[in-house]
Chains A and B, each alone.
Chain A
Amino acid sequence: MGDTGTTHGVKVDSPLVIRLEHVSKTYKSSTRPALDNVSVDMDKGEFVFLIGPSGSGKSTFLRLLLREEVPSKGRVYVSNFDVAKMARRRVPRLRQSIGCVFQDFRLLATKTVAENVAFALEVIGKPRHTIRKVVPEVLQLVGLDGKADRMPNELSGGEQQRVAIARAFVNRPLVLIADEPTGNLDPDTSQDIMLLLERINRTGTTVVMATHDHSIVDSMRRRVVELSLGKVVRDDARGVYGVGR
């Protein structure tokens, strides 16, 4: 477990998966940086909450990992990818090793549950026999094995998010990124989703989750990196959402 966000030495026993070095990001249309000199390391198998109020830079942080954005300053590493510097044509490789889940699920309304999950493998050219084998497995893992042929609009919000998680995880990514995955869900359903993310984390997948849901962060007692106005203001190995909020 990384106990500080500013340690720069590569640890031998727990290899780094994510590293941000003095990263700043200023969007073209704004003057205030969305991220301001952020340095954070995350190890393989960690579960990290990225917290902070709306606009503090959580989504920007996650988009930098995916190379949806490039930093204005500093360097970003994911696994052995030099994310900011890598050639554009190698970006698909990076993204294949990162799974993504969002608040709005982003399922394809015209495809069934199983097709939605299979889609993620089809478009990266996985062979059909592999797809036929792993899709039912992952649906079972997320607790949707009876609902493979349902359409997304026949599912509850929690179930839809499970499909999204199955899709993000089906290619066994190194890192799972979740941007407010419980933002559209009621507290009970959110708890179920957190249990699922924990299960995925136990397989060795690093989970980075942006949220501003106090109760979830408080109940999980995992590492918490807090952003405020684009700066890292706190990095606790076993944190809570924070006092006085």
Chain B
Amino acid sequence: MRASFVFSEVITGLRRNITMTIAMILTTAISLGLLGGGLLIVRTIGKMQANFLSALQVEVNLDDAVSAGDPNCTQSICAGLRADLTNYPGVVSVQFQNRNQTFAKAKAEFSNDPEMEQLVRPEAFPASLLVSLQNPTQSGVISAAFASKAGVRDVDDQGVFVQKLTDLLNGVRNATFLIALIQALAALMLISNTIQVSAFTRRTEVGIMRLVGATRWYTQLPFLLEAVVAGVVGAVLAVGGLVVAKVAFLDNIFGSVFSSTIIPKIGLLDIASVSPWLLLAAVGISALTGYVTLRLYVRL
């Protein structure tokens, strides 16, 4: 196989159909960019759940009577709740925290806000049972089962918030994947079409190649490579697009609005780790489309 020959054929082919080539590359790039965006969201959701949910505890806050009268959780209501929670399926551990301990924690949180620190009183805080779950996303179950029990004031379930956020991000992810898929179909048809046009423009060449006994592999490789080269260029553009999108938009939006740590920032490292998949998808899809097109639609 003469590499230089095949290479020059590929370049000639791509340049001959330059507008088509650009359309093919851009469509592929957009599709892959969206795919990459979707993958980044998947990573973000994963990180968010790992960072936040694993440390998350459901706080079962006890009512005033219990908070005031049972500082060690020894009386029947509190002890009963603790036992029920401990035996509840999916619960890993239950830890009691009395009113003063809750107060101390709150005070520590307000330490840089002296006015608030002055205002808070232990009586404003409930005693709590802090529940750690095997699967933190299932906090809602605890809330449903225990919120209305005797001695319970309310169940403070931050998992619900994280779950809502996760659902939202999942929705965005699905929409992104859907658009990526539609774009991928467009890219697929463009690739197929470009190869057919390319094969038609070069029918004399291909006819001669067949006649002098070039193998099928040799006649088809330039077309296949054309598609793959366009796919790879598309993938590179897509990765570039993701970096630009991160620096220009995401960093600004998340930097100001979400200064909290709930949604982890998307870093260059995240983009770097999804890019091989984009490249792989580009090469795989373009090569497969090329191969199928050559088999089905081009008589070489």
Contacts and interface: CB of A to CB of B under 8 A. Distances in A.
Interface of A: 66, 89, 91-98, 100, 106, 108, 119-120, 122-125, 128, 167, 171
A171 B216 contact: no
A100 B211 contact: yes
Interface residues of B, number: 17
9 contacts: A93-B213, A95-B211, A96-B213, A106-B208, A108-B208, A120-B208, A123-B208, A124-B215, A167-B212
A125 B208 contact: no
Contacts of A89: 215-216
Nearest to A98: B213
B211 A66 contact: yes
A178 to B, nearest CB: 13
Interface in B170-220: 204-205, 207-216, 218-219
Contact of A95 (B1, B204, B212, B218): B212
Contacts of A97: 213
Given A122-B2, A122-B5, A128-B2, A108 B204 contact: yes
A189 to B, nearest CB: 23
B245 to A, nearest CB: 42
Contact of B214 (A94, A100, A108, A124): A124
Contacts of B212: 95-96, 100, 120, 123-124, 167, 171
Contacts of A125: 1-2, 218
A119 B213 CA distance: 12
B204 A92 contact: no
B207 A106 contact: yes
A119 B208 contact: yes
Given A124-B218, A125-B218, A95 B213 contact: yes
Nearest to A164: B208
Contacts of B5: 122-123
Contacts of A123: 5, 208-209, 212, 214, 218-219
Contacts of A94: 213
Nearest to B12: A110
Contact of B205 (A91, A108, A167, A171): A108
Given A98-B213, A124-B212, 20 more contacts: A92-B213, A92-B215, A95-B213, A96-B213, A100-B212, A106-B204, A106-B208, A108-B204, A119-B205, A120-B208, A123-B212, A123-B214, A123-B218, A124-B213, A124-B214, A124-B215, A124-B218, A125-B2, A125-B218, A167-B212
A66 B216 CA distance: 15
A93 B213 CA distance: 6
Nearest to A177: B211
A123 B213 CA distance: 8
A108 B201 CA distance: 12
A152 to B, nearest CB: 11
A66 B213 CA distance: 10
Contacts of B209: 123
Contacts of A122: 2, 5
Contacts of B208: 106, 108, 119-120, 123, 167
A128 B2 CA distance: 9
B151 to A, nearest CB: 82
Contact of A92 (B1, B2, B205, B214): B214
Interface string B215-228: 11011000000000
Contacts of A106: 204, 207-208
Most buried by A among B5, B207, B219: B5
Contacts of B2: 122, 125, 128
Most buried by B among A100, A122, A124, A128: A122
Contacts of B211: 66, 95, 100
Contacts of A98: 213
A120 B211 CA distance: 9
A75 to B, nearest CB: 21
Contacts of B204: 106, 108
A172 to B, nearest CB: 12
A147 to B, nearest CB: 20
A119 B205 CA distance: 9
A207 to B, nearest CB: 17
